[in-house]
Structure 1
Amino acid sequence: MVTNYFQFFFILTIGFYYLIDKTEESIRPRYMETIEESLNDTTHVLSAIVEEKLKTNPRDRFHLKELVQQIFRFPFENVHKRTFEAKIYSLLKSNADIQMYVTDEKGIVIFDSEKYREGLDYSKYNDVYLTLKGKYGVRSSKMSDSEKEGALFIASPIRYESDIIGVLTVVKPKIGVIPFIEEAKNKFWRICLLVASSIAIVFSLLAYISFRPILRLSQYVNSLRNKDKKPFPKLGIKELNDLGKEVDQLVLELEGKKYVESYVQTLTHEIKSPLSSILASVELIQTHPKEIDRLAKTIDAEGKRIQKLIDQLLELSSIEGKNSIELNDTIELIPFLEEVIMRFAIELERKSLQITRVFPATPVLIKGNGYYLQMVFENLFRNSIEFANTNDNITVEVETTNPLLTKFVIRDQGQTIPDFALPKITEKFFSLPRPASNRKSSGLGLSIVKEILDLHQSEMKIQNLNPKGVEVSIFFAKL
């Protein structure tokens, strides 16, 4: 066990180092992306200044060189002479290093803040070439052979009406950004070292505290596997104590195969009746061909009964296997309920049932999973319809008076639930006979409802009404 601990700690250390190394590598690109975004804004502002001048005097488009020289020559000469002291975090900046040049529509430099580029053909450089093509012009390259870091070039078009008549490029030497990147990296590594040291200390302390109880628990589990009857040890840590008892209980349940037997026995019992009916109907068809229509309906009904049971078992097993589901849907509850009610229009009409709606005037929003909540409401409506008597009234109500909860209520006037059945009503395979047919259902509907509501962290309350009927309430957290 000690060996496993050190192996785990070694893997954790390697993983942590890999994480911080990759994060450290991303610092430089993130800084460059930030600089690029700022330069992009800057170059568009400067282009806009030139375009505004062109709007004032359209003839200047034929004299673009003189115009940009007039706008930018003196400001750049002034800023190059200017010195200042700007403490940016822990670094001191004393001069502006931003540069700029402008080319005409052929890519020839007509203005350069540094003067040495004027007259050169920059039409093949990406910043100018792409911008003249109407694309985003950017490049990263050296300004001279002596430089190691180079610079970032961001361009924007100078337009007159819909035509591109020039390109304005802002240049930021990377050497001015490097000190900030290095300072950020140093700070990052200092923090990582502090965090790593803290994690190592805490991890070692927890391992020391947990080692002996875990060893005892491991020996106890071993004894369970070997079927040695040993008393549960005193572990001294509540969480491990609880874990050990859960393991003990799990072993007992697995040995008894309670869960599997329950499913298999109930499924066998539920399918046996409709299957017998189908087989009997097939035999009668052979001897009484005139009864084929009636017997075919019986086969169809029993087949659908088996299909429904299998579908519900699959739905329940899929939900039981989930620890969580996505609850990202914002549901407007009242239209959602109206849509569910519409699906039962035929059943409501067949039994002459009336729906009374008690809804607030304002929209009611809840957060959840629309697919699973539809299953909840459909199961509840189906139960109310099946247990209601002909000409009964079913009430659907939404209450929003509680500041924290939205309450959904459905009431019917059918049979009350016997006292012995109330605690079992949401258990799998437990069902009461329907008043119309005196037949039981699969007993899975309310189990599915409860599982879904548990995943939504919502509470369901079922109670009998006086003198008859049942009320089901669900409480959803408000948005």
Structure 2
Amino acid sequence: MVTNHHQFFFILCIGFYYLIDKTEESIRPRYMETIEESLNDTTHVLSAIVEEEIKKNPNDRFRFKTVVESLFRDPFLNVRKRTFEAKIYSLLKTNADIQMYVTDAKGIVIFDSERFREGLDYSKYNDVYLTLQGKYGVRSSKMFDTEKEGALFIASPIRYQKEIIGVLTVIKPKIGVIPFIEEAKNKFWRISLLVASSIAVVFSILAYISFRPIIRLSQYVISLRNQERKPFPKLGIKELNDLGKEVDQLVLELEGKKYVESYVQTLTHEIKSPLSSILASVELIESHPKEMSRLTKTIEAEAKRIQSLIDQLLELSSLEGKNSIQLDDTIDLIALLEEVIHRFEIEWERKSLQVNTMFPKVPVIIKGNHNYLRMAIENIFRNSIEFANPKDQIRIQLQVLENSKIKLVILDEGQSIPDYALSKVTEKFFSLPRPRDNRKSSGLGLSIVKEICDLHQANLTIRNLEPKGVEVEIQF
């Protein structure tokens, strides 16, 4: 036990070192983010100065280079000559190292605070290229081959009447930030070592106080694991005493942990379909603005569906392990299938698939749980879409058999299921790669279908077709 105690202390030290090491690594990017935020404000202020100058005389936009020269050439010459002593925390700063250049609408540098960039084509550099496209222009690169740290380049547009007529980029060499980062790291390590020492002392005291009760509690837990009924020992520490008395309940709760993990995966799986529909609708709004009303209704419906899925999955999780559920909904299978087909319309039309249906001319009514049954059919139909090849057919057949049983068949002409996988496709977390991108799903779709079929006392059969394709049959 002493050895285990030392091992635990050693592991705790390693974990603490890992924590502070990773935190120390994050100091540099956090500093750089702060610098970038400040530079972003600076460059927009400078751009606004240029824009205001042009507004005073709109013809100045035709002599853009002259305006920029008059605004910034002398100030930058002046700032290069200035020396000062700024005590920033424990570091002394004596000169300004910020730089700036301005390009025209073609990305040609017309002004450079350091002069050597003027006349160069910077249109392919990210800061200029992205800003000219109306995006956030930023890059991090070296100014000279001899540099090790490089610099941050933050750009903003110069506009005249909403038209971008130029780009203003502010440059901050990283070498000026490094001393602050190193000082912050040194302070962090000093504080961390002090905290670690304090934790070690406190841990040693607590370990000494609680060592003997922990041995007794450990022995009691071992007896529970071996299903031995022993009286709970006197530990003398209230917290440990309460812990031991709750061990039996804790075991039951830990067994339920796997259900939580399973349904988190299920939620992720089920949300993919409505999200795909929302994204597809957004894309279509851009190319078909006349369809905006219909597409926004689709987006709203799918967003509500995501919320509904969350509620349904929570309810489904409570059903696991039960032999039966209430099947009180009167379900028109034809209407339900048409609803599912319409919900996935954008996705199967995008792949140029043909969806053919063969339904009886009269309604087919069954008793069941509408939400769960729709979830099962959606999972099957989604798989058919994902595994079908472009321009393939998906056939949905509904038939009332002579023995009054109802048979639903959904089949596609896509890839067949490998023989080894036929018996595994309804197992949780088993998934096959999609033909388009070899992506695997969470492997929960068909396991949900199987569970819902069992709850409806329906038979689920999955078989390969010749020469290719898969047929999924549900018989109620």
Q: TM-score normalized by structure 2?
A: 0.49
Which structure has the greater CA radius of gyration?
Answer: 1
